[in-house]
Amino acid sequence: MPHITFMPCGLAGEVAEGTTLLEAADQLDLLGVAGLEIPDGCTRQCECCTCKVRIVSGWDHLSAISDDENVLLADNGAADDDRLSCQATIHGDVVVWFDGT
């Protein structure tokens, strides 16, 4: 199973392939362990960009970025290594940066 690490808190674990980054945060209890909640302002419908996270490594282990996600990230001034955690599914080891800011 793919291994995901959330930085800078260091929370890590394995999740089933195809799990979204946001689902992984839920499954590993990012909120309970690190006090960090990734906002899902549009209930994970690829409409708000509040769930944006930075990919530290493993970009190629995520699902391809859709046109809708790409437009939403660009419209919100996202960096080149940002993904929407509600849209990107995990297909290999990844390291994600989310510090709540």
**Which amino acid is it at 68?**
D
Nearest distance from C-beta of residue 12 to ligand FES, angstroms: 22
- The rounded radius of gyration (Å) of the Cα atoms in the chain is 12
Sheet holding 82-84, edge to edge: 11-14, 3-7, 94-97, 52-57, 82-84
Q: Which is nearer to ligand FES, 1 or 41 (CB)?
A: 41
Nearest distance from C-beta of residue 21 to ligand FES, angstroms: 10
Residue 91: CB atoms within 10 A of its CB come to 15
Nearest distance from C-beta of residue 20 to ligand FES, angstroms: 9
The footprint of ligand FES (CB under 6 A) covers 40-42, 44, 46-51, 84, 86
Q: Which is nearer to ligand FES, 1 or 100 (CB)?
A: 100
